[in-house]
């Protein structure tokens, strides 16, 4: 049985989402209403959990009282609301289910789009020996990582189906080709650190490609 969330739990999740939304918006990481964010609230099992998610189609650079709603592990609203959850909520559901993460941040940026296209065919973006890999909690010298890239099907359930198989050990992110990145962490602080690291690495990969190819 699902335990009822307290008003404080809900408000804390909305405040955290509101703050990180403003931070990422200030960087221009939500062009054209793109992007979506979520924070898990309350108890978690892979079969049953609840999270607060951004409402679909909103201008994420604007704060409003109708920015977020609570959904369950199927992506269905758990309270009466006229808001629609993000069109990509099912991807959040799969990431939570298979990682137990506490927060997920999805942004569309020029660099994540460009490198996703550069490496989309091979299905992962390789990065080696860049210090910011440590922000993913990977500490070995000259570490090499592969960031998964999935096809950007128009049908979101088709993408969601691929998520469990794409989640790579140690890599808290998945890129959708010519679309954007999903980065996650145990909480918003960690998810933001991971997202910033990925975006740094994508810019590095892109610029390195221009310099050397
Ligand atoms: C306008 S960008 C296309 C949809 C998208 O990729 C996105 O991230 C935003 O969708 P949402 O339903 O979460 O607003
Ligand atoms: Zn998107």
What CATH number should be reported for the domain holding residue 175?
3.40.225.10
Residue with the smallest CA separation from ligand 1 atom 9 is 34
Structural domain contains residue 84: yes
Assess if residue 61 is contained within a domain.
yes
- In this predicted structure, what is the pLDDT of residue 3? 82
Cβ(88)–Cβ(53) below 8 Å:
no
The ipTM (two decimal places) reads 0.99
* Candidate from 29, 31, 32, 36 with most ligand 1 atoms within 8 A of CB, to mutate: 36
The structure's pTM equals: 0.98
Give the ligand 1 atom nearest the CA of 179.
6
Residue 32 lies in a domain: yes
- Residue 133 forms part of a structural domain: yes
- Euclidean distance between CA atoms 33 and 200, whole angstroms: 22
Note whether 94 and 49 are within 8 A (CB).
no
Count structural domains, the chain.
Answer: 1
The DSSP-derived string for 75-104 is: S-BSS--SPPB-TTHHHHHHHHHHH--SEE
Find the domain containing 86 and state its range. 7-212
Residue 78, pLDDT score: 97
pLDDT value for 86: 99
Domain assignment present for 2:
no
Q: Is the CB of 86 under 6 A from ligand 1?
A: yes
**5 C-alpha vs ligand 1 centroid, how far in Å?**
27
Length of the chain: 213
∠ CA 61-92-4, nearest 5°, is 95
Report pLDDT for 121: 98
Neighbours of ion ligand 2 (CB under 5 A): 180
**Is 106 assigned to a binding site?**
yes
CB atoms within 10 A of CB 153: 15
Is 1 part of a structural domain of the chain?
Answer: no
Q: Which of 72, 187, 161 is nearest to 174 (CA)?
A: 161
- Identify the residue whose C-alpha is closest to ligand 1 atom 4: 34
Residue 44 in domain: yes
DSSP assignment letter at 29: -
pLDDT by residue for the chain (213 residues), tens only, comes to 778 899 999 999 999 999 999 999 999 999 999 999 999 999 999 999 999 999 999 999 999 999 999 999 999 999 999 999 999 999 999 999 999 999 999 999 999 999 999 999 999 999 999 999 999 999 999 999 999 999 999 999 999 999 999 999 999 999 999 999 999 999 999 999 999 999 999 999 999 999 998
């Amino acid at each position: 049985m699902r335990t009822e969330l307290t008003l404080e739990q809900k408000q804390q999740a909305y405040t955290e989402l509101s703050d990180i939304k403003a931070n990422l918006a200030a960087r221009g990481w939500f062009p054209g209403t793109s992007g979506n964010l979520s924070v898990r609230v309350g108890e978690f099992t892979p079969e049953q959990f609840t999270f607060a998610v951004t409402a679909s189609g909103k201008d994420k650079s604007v704060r409003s009282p109708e920015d977020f709603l609570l959904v369950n592990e199927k992506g269905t609203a758990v309270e009466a609301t006229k808001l629609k959850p993000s069109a990509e909520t099912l991807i959040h559901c799969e990431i939570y289910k298979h990682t137990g993460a506490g927060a997920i941040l999805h942004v569309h940026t020029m660099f994540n789009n460009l490198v996703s296209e550069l490496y989309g065919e091979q299905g992962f973006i390789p990065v080696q020996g860049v210090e910011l890999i440590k922000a993913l909690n990977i500490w070995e010298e000259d570490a090499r990582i592969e960031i998964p890239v999935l096809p950007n099907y128009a049908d979101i359930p088709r993408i969601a189906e691929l998520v469990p198989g794409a989640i790579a050990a140690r890599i808290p992110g998945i890129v959708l080709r010519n679309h954007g990145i999903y980065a996650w962490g145990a909480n918003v602080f960690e998810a933001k650190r991971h997202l910033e690291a990925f975006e740094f690495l994508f810019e590095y990969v892109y610029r390195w490609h221009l310099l050397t190819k």
